[in-house]
Structure 1
Amino acid sequence: MPVTRSLPLGRAHEVAGGALALDRAGAGGPPVVVLPGAGLVGLDYLNVHTAAAEFTTSVLYDRAGTGWSDPVALPRTAADVATELRDLLRAAGIAGPYVLAGHSLGASYARRFAQLFPAEVAGLLLLDPGHEDLFAHLPAEAAGLNDRMKQAAAELPDLTESQLRSAREQYGALFAEWPPEAREPLVEHHLTTWRTVVAETANEDAVYAELRDGGELPDVPLIVLTAMGRNPYWTQFGSEELIEAAQRGIRDLHASIAAGVPRGEHRVLDDATHQFLHIERKDAVLRAIRDLIAAG
């Protein structure tokens, strides 16, 4: 049942006692459902959503505790997020099976959905995903690099006025193609909720344990996109050599994910970065969605 509230995009639906924001665009199927990365929200993917709606039904949403959905305690289990999404899609009257496009942490949630509800998945698109076997593919020093980055993120002080002005300009440029009625609330949202990424990923090891013990993925088409563009934030914590080795390890991990299922494919994007690959290479994301629909 839709809930009356002011949203920059879409409508809110009541699910398990809370209201969740969802926007549906386009027609046909299978519907593609975007699962945002940690700290991101549905509106971050408006460019992909608008373009995908030209050839299928496209769905953006904010999971509970993020965006314009009701707050909940974070972090959450992958099973809770997956079950919530299933209930939301039913409440919104969007029938499966679905192509799930999960970015980063959202890819873990997409995989958990596929483990729990295999008959409701038509395809999987994993955008630069994390994985429970990550550190088996990385140099030993990468674990320390990861710990240092996590600790630094958790200890960041509030942004100064100068930092807020700079971030507002950067986000404004990043979302320049978004219409003002979407861009302005999205920029302000990121400036006030940037700590969500820390909260959502606080139980990363537990989520990976869920996936490891959660069973096989269904035999559906799967595409993994790897972003090989350099993240300048990483260079504050590790040497150039370590970062290059870590990126090669991530690429190899993603190749193994694709090779581990009957209909998996791995595609490498040398000119895209982890956080914004869907903006920097929208074309590659849309091509993958089209290919998964055609292969289903």
Structure 2
Amino acid sequence: MVRNGGHNLAFHVTPGHNPAIVLDAGGGADSSYWKDIVPVLAKDTGSTIITYDRAGMGASDEVPGPWKVEDAVSDLEAGLTQLGATHDVVLVSHSLAGEIATYFVNKDPQWVAGSVLVDASLPNFYTDSEIAKIEAANNAQMAELQKQPSTKQTRQLLAVAASYGAMHRAYHQVSWPDTVPATVIRSSKTPFDTPDDAQLWRDAEAQFAAAAPNRTVIVADNSSHDIPLDRPDVVLKAIDEMAKQVS
């Protein structure tokens, strides 16, 4: 357990050598999302494997008020500092965790040797019109959630929705530092059912990869947005290659 800003966070460690591989799950998921990947990754790479529960998830304390990406970055910093993983890190981020990764590598680029972004949320996706569309959908979903019994998961979803618009208008202006290599894994389906939204998501991934020579996009065929569950082989291979590249 790691203490930061008055709350406790659960970090889970499989000991090994550097580079340490840090796995960060998407929105609504905790460290158990990676339970099938961790033992295979540890065996294949010999690296230290770190997973954790973000505030409000799993065994970590809840934090009242709207969710803030800056707080999530601070929590990750606190955990990695206590674990001594402040250099040669391979950061693996799924979905929402791509936003944490983007802010993290801007603040602490010297900590991260490379990243694998698994169908991750990237800045170019968040145009004003897209944010407005998602906010409208969120409002309907949140109204339904508020009618249901309050649980840790529903409270966390409501916290993220509360700050969605302002947070993503700011995120749209953020860029990934050229010094940190990144592999983007694209799903077949994307998180969206509508063709326009799905294409915008794919375009954001392509634009991200094209912005620097040390970035690439690979496609996980026959996968939903949950690539780590549908195609763990693709995720494991990408992490293994990034770990070898940065060793």
Name the TM tier (shorter chain). Answer: 0.7 to 0.9
Report the AA paired with residue 20 of structure 2.
P
Distance 1:271 1:144 in 2: 30
Alignment of 1:181-220 (within 5 A): 193-212=153-172, 216-220=176-180
Relative distance call for 1:18 and 1:195 in structure 2 (3 A) is closer
Q: Residue 268 in 1 paired to residue 219 in 2? A: yes
User: In the comparison of the two structures, how many residue pairs are matched?
Assistant: 242
1:198 Cα deviation (Å)?
Answer: 3.5
Q: Residue 52 in 1 paired to residue 41 in 2? A: yes
SS of the residue corresponding to residue 216 of structure 2 reads strand
Deviations, residues 240-280 of structure 1 (Å, cap 9, x unaligned):
xxx12321221121011111123000112232112x22111
Q: 1:36 aligns with which of 25, 34, 40?
A: 25
Q: Residue 150 in 1 paired to residue 138 in 2? A: yes
Kept after mapping to 2: 8 A contact 1:14/1:91 = no
Q: 1:98 aligns with which of 86, 89, 109?
A: 89
Distance 1:214 1:251 in 2: 18
Kept after mapping to 2: 8 A contact 1:153/1:198 = no
> Residue in 2 aligned with 1:227?
187
Kept after mapping to 1: 8 A contact 2:123/2:174 = no
> Residue in 1 aligned with 2:8?
19
1:37 Cα deviation (Å)?
Answer: 1.2
Identify which range, 112-121 or 47-56, moves more after superposition: 47-56
Distance 1:266 1:52 in 2: 21
Identify which range, 243-252 or 257-266, moves more after superposition: 243-252
1:102 Cα deviation (Å)?
Answer: 1.2
Relative distance call for 1:23 and 1:101 in structure 2 (3 A) is same
Distance 1:205 1:143 in 2: 6
> Residue in 2 aligned with 1:257?
208
Deviations, residues 46-88 of structure 1 (Å, cap 9, x unaligned):
1122221121111110122222111112433322211221111
Q: 1:289 aligns with which of 211, 218, 239?
A: 239
Report the AA paired with residue 27 of structure 2.
A
Relative distance call for 1:144 and 1:271 in structure 2 (3 A) is farther
Kept after mapping to 2: 8 A contact 1:132/1:212 = yes
Relative distance call for 1:90 and 1:144 in structure 2 (3 A) is closer
Kept after mapping to 2: 8 A contact 1:41/1:67 = yes
Distance 2:94 2:65 in 1: 18
CA RMSD of aligned residues (A): 2.6
Kept after mapping to 2: 8 A contact 1:219/1:262 = no
> Residue in 2 aligned with 1:185?
none
Task: Give the structure-1-normalised TM-score.
Answer: 0.73
Alignment of 1:233-248 (within 5 A): 243-248=194-199
SS of the residue corresponding to residue 17 of structure 2 reads coil
Report the AA paired with residue 160 of structure 2.
E
Unaligned runs of 5+ in 2: none
Identity among equivalent positions (%) equals: 24
Relative distance call for 1:195 and 1:24 in structure 2 (3 A) is same
> Residue in 1 aligned with 2:108?
117
1:132 Cα deviation (Å)?
Answer: 3.0
Distance 1:218 1:79 in 2: 21
Kept after mapping to 1: 8 A contact 2:206/2:217 = yes
Relative distance call for 1:192 and 1:208 in structure 2 (3 A) is closer
Q: Residue 66 in 1 paired to residue 57 in 2? A: yes
SS of the residue corresponding to residue 2 of structure 2 reads strand
Report the AA paired with residue 63 of structure 1.
R
